[in-house]
Amino acid sequence: MVSFPANGEMAKQLAVNLSDNGQVDSSKYPEAKAAGYSMPRCVYCPRADYSPQATEGRVQGTVELVAVIGEDGLIKNLRVVNGLPGGLTLEAIKAVERWRLQPATGPDGKPVAVRVPIQVSFQLF
């Protein structure tokens, strides 16, 4: 895994919600696969593109995100936990924002919004 130091401005941007303008507090949602909650399932989850800068710099690793997946299977909140240089963090965000998921279900079997960690891996072959 590749890590890099974030300067002050970059750290602020990475800490900000990337969807819903900060309106969703992800801490109030249960984690998927905990206490009877299922994991959302991918219906349409395109892979992230490799940026030209990352290809040229031979950057590899994993972008770690956390999201709230709503009762409708859409990303309601997206935060960067650990990013990568070379535009890969942005490419991961763009890909995940296009995802469509079958929502998780709660202990009662009904669709429910849950908090989910997401890892987007980038590997050069």
Average pLDDT over every residue of 90-117 = 96
pTM of the model: 0.77
Domain boundaries, the chain: 8-122
Identity of residue 76: K
Question: For domain 8-122, which architecture applies?
Answer: 2-Layer Sandwich (3.30)
> How far apart are the C-alpha atoms of 54 and 46, rounded to whole Å?
19
Q: What is the pLDDT of residues 29-67, one digit of tens each?
A: 988 888 889 999 999 999 999 999 999 999 999 999 999
pLDDT-derived band at 78, boundaries 50, 70, 90: very high
Answer for the pair 16, 53: CB distance below 8 angstroms, yes or no. no
